[in-house]
Structure 1
Amino acid sequence: MLILEEMQSRGHESLSLLNHAPSGLRAALAVHSTVLGPAIAGVRLREQDEQLAVRGALALSESLTLKTALAGLNYGGGACVLLMPEAGVDDPHAREALFRALGRQLRPLASRVVLTEDIGVTPADIAFVAQETPATLGMNTDTSAVTGYGVYRGMKAAARFALGSESLRGVRVAILGVGAVGRTLAQYLHREGAKLTVADARLEKAEALAGELDGTRAVGCDALLDVPCDIVSPCAYGHSIHSVDVPRLQCRLIAGGEHHPLTRRGEAAVKEAGIVYMPDFAINAAGLIAAATGADMNHAAERVYQIVTRITQVAEQYDKAPHLVARRMAERRIDLIGGLGRV
C-alpha cells in the first residue's frame, strides 16, 4: 500500500515486476509518464534487494520524465532496475539470456516503453534486448562518455551563475563516484586545471584515478562531504547526499551526473543553506539526447549547456532556486504538450 501511495503522489502510471527463472531475470519496471511519448526506461543492473530496486525504479522514472521534457524530446520517463542474478552474469551466454529475456517480456509494451542503457548495462546488452523487441535506444552510443562530457559543460554554465565565472581553472571540485561518468568528468576537469578530490564506494577506484590525474586526492565517501570545495559533484547511484548531512557541505554548488542525489527534503535543505543545486535531470541529459536523436557528443553536450544557461537566466531574473526553475520548466512543457491531446 505504501508503494501505491508513493506512485499516486508522484503521478506514476504503472509499476511491473518481471520474473523469468531460467535466465535469472528479476526486475522492477516503472513507467512514470507517457504524456509526451513512449517512456524511455534506463536499464540498471546491480546488486541490491527488491525494495531498493522498486523504489529506485520509481525515483529514476520520475527523473527521466523531467529530463526528456526539459531536453525537448518527445518521450516520457521510465526505469527498469534488474536485480543481479544469483549466478551472476560473468558467463557471456548467461548475460545474453538475461537481456533477451528482458526484451521478450517487454515486447508487448513496445508502444509504451523504450529501453536504453544505464548503470551496469552496456550497448551490447541493449543489442541483446533489441533481438527481442524493436523498442531500444543507445546501441551505437557510448552514453556514459557523452553524459560525462555533458555534465562538464553543464557544470561550466552552472558555475557562471553560482561562482561568477564558467572557468573551472583552480576551482575545487569534489566528485563522489568515479564510475564511467565520474571518471570522464574528472578527466575534463583535470584538463582544464580544476583541483580535484575524488571518492568512490570502492576506494581503490578513487585511488587509481587519483594516481592517473596529477594533484588529485582520493578520500572515502563519507569524508568527501566534509571537504572544503567550490563544487560537489555527485556521480554515484542515487541519494548520495542525505538531508541530515547538508550542514556538513562546504561548497557553493552541487552539480553532477547522478540521478536524484537529493530527496525533496534534501533540496529544501541545500536551498536553506544557500547552496545552488543544478538538478540531475537538467545536467546529465547529454547521453540520453545523443541516444534519442543521434546527435554527436559535442552537439548533445552543447544542448545541456544551453538548457542549464536558460535555467540560470530565469532563476536570476525571478530570484528563484535553479532546481525549482528546472522542475517548473519541465512540468510546463508536459502540461502544454499534454494539453494538445492524444492523436
Structure 2
Amino acid sequence: MQIFEEMQSRGHESLTLLHHAPSGLKAALAVHSTVLGPAIAGVRLRPLDELEALRGALALSESLTLKAALAGLNYGGGACVLLLPDQGVDDPHAREALFRALGRQVRPLESRVVLTEDIGVTPADIAFVAQETPATLGVNTDTSSVTGYGVYRGMKAAARFALGSESMRGVRVAILGVGAVGRTLAEHLHREGARLTLADHRPERAQALADDLDGAAVVGTAELFDVPCDILAPCGYGHSIRSADVPRLQCRLIAGGEHHPLSRNGEAAVKEAGIVYMPDFAINAAGLIAAATALTPEQAAERVYGTVLRIGTVAEQYGKPPHVVARRMAERRIDLIGSLGTGTALQGRSA
C-alpha cells in the first residue's frame, strides 16, 4: 500500500499515528477534509493489523466527509482506528487509560478534529476522552440505536425509488451484521412485517436475534449473498461486498448501515448488474446528526429520510445511479461553502 498515493487519490489532508506505550494506545488518525469545519472522527476499536487500521482510517474518514456534507453539517470528515491493545481492555482502568491517552494525544489537534464513537466504542469511552480534550461529540447520545432507526427510515425512502413503495410489509430483507445498528434495524423492520434473513460473523448473535424476532431466518455469512431478497442491508465493518461477489447477489436494492460496503469497482459492478445502491454516507447519518445537533433521534432520522428521498428523486429525474447523485450532492456543498473562504462556518454548529 502506497500511503501518499492513497491519500492523494482520496484527497486526504493528513494521517497521524498515535502511540502511548503504557496504555497500549496505537492508533491511526486520518483527516480527510476540514473545508466545512473540524473533522468529525469516528473512533473504532477492533482487532486489526496495522495495514488494516490505516486502510480503515482512510476509507472511513472520506465517508465521514461526504456524510457530514450531505447532512448539512458544518464538519469535515476524519477517522481514528485503534488497534486492540495486547493486554485487552476488559480491565475498566485499562480502558479508561487507553481512551484518556487518546484524548491527551488528540488535544493539540482539537481545532481540527472532533472525536465521536464508532464500532467497538461507547459513549462512556468518549467521556474518558472528554476528560482530556473538549474535542468530542456523542457523550450523551446512543448513536448506534439512532443510526439504526435512521437506516430504517432511509431504507423506506430508498425503497420508494427502487421498489416502487416504501412499505416494508412482506419485503424480503437480508441483513449482514446484527450488532447494535443491525439489530435496531431488524427490530423496526420486523415490527412493520418485513421478512428477514439474518447473518453475522458471530452466528450465535444472529440466532439470538432471530429467536426474538418470530419468523426471521438465519444463514451463514458466506451464504447470505445467494439468498433471494428485495433488499440487502450490509451492517458490518466495511467492504462486506467484494466485487467478485456481486454476480451472486439476489437483491434489487443495497441499503444498510455499514460504512463503505463496496469499493469503487464494486459500485460499478452493482450498477452494471442493475442493482440500486443507496450509499452508506446518505443512509447511516442519523447518529452523527443527533450527536452534532440539538435534534431528537426522530428528527435526525427524518432528516435522513428527506435526504434519501431527494437523492432518489434527482436520480430518477436525470437517470443517474443514486450513489453517484449522492456523492455529487455532497461534493457540491463542499465546493460551494468552501468557496466562501475561512470563517464562514460556525465551528461545527449544524447548518
Same fold judged by TM-score > 0.5?
Answer: yes
Which whole-Å deviations, capped at 9, do the CAs of 1:78-133 have from their partners, x for residues lacking one? 00000000000000000000000000000000100000000000000000000000
For residues 235 and 333 of structure 1, the distance between their equivalents in structure 2, rounded to whole angstroms, comes to: 27
Q: 1:309 & 1:202 partners in 2: Cα distance?
A: 34
Match of 1:261 in 2: 261
What residue is the counterpart of 1:161 in the other structure?
161
Structure 2 matches for 1:122-137, cutoff 5 A?
122-137=122-137
**Is 1:240 matched with 2:232?**
no
Question: What secondary structure does 2:254 align onto?
Answer: strand
Please name the residue that 2:100 is paired with: 100
For 1:296 and 1:81, the matched residues in 2 are separated by 28
> 2:72 — aligned with what?
72
Aligned to 2:222: 222
Letter in 1 for 2:288: L
- Please say if 1:209 is aligned against 2:216: no
CA–CA distance in 2 between the matches of 1:67 and 1:104? 27
Length-normalised TM-score, structure 1: 1.00
AA of the residue aligned to 1:271: K
- Deviation by residue 1:27-62 (Cα, 9 ceiling, x = unmatched): 000000000000000000010100000000000000
Note the residue ranges of structure 1 that are not aligned, 5 or more in a row.
Answer: none
Question: Partner of 1:7 in structure 2?
Answer: 7
Once the two structures are superposed, residues 116-162 of structure 1 have per-residue CA deviations (whole angstroms, 9 ceiling, x without a partner) of 00000000000000000000000000000000000000000000100
Between the aligned partners of 1:218 and 1:86, the Cα distance in structure 2 is 33
Q: Equivalences for 1:1-343 in 2 at 5 Å?
A: 2-343=2-343
Question: What is the CA distance between 1:295 and its match in structure 2?
Answer: 1.2
Partners of 1:131 and 1:294 in 2: how far apart? Answer: 22
Distance 2:106 2:251 in 1: 43
TM-aligned CA deviation for residue 294 of structure 1: 2.4
Question: TM-score when scaled to structure 2?
Answer: 0.97
Q: Give the letter for the 2:41 counterpart.
A: A
Separation in 2 of the partners of 1:211 and 1:217?
Answer: 9
Q: Distance in 2 between matches of 1:296 and 1:158?
A: 22
Return the alpha-carbon distance in structure 2 between the equivalents of residues 147 and 102 of structure 1. 24
Amino acid at match of 1:63: S
Question: What count of residue pairs does the alignment treat as equivalent?
Answer: 343
CA distance in 2, matches of 1:63, 1:233: 17
Give deviations 1:213-258, integer Å, cap 9, x for gaps. 0000111111000000000000000000000100000000000000
Question: Identical aligned pairs, as a percentage?
Answer: 83
Unpaired segments ≥5 residues, structure 2: 344-351
- In structure 1, give the amino acid aligned to 2:114: V
In the alignment, residue 191 of structure 2 is paired with which amino acid?
R
**Within 2, Cα distance between the matches of 1:111 and 1:3?**
24
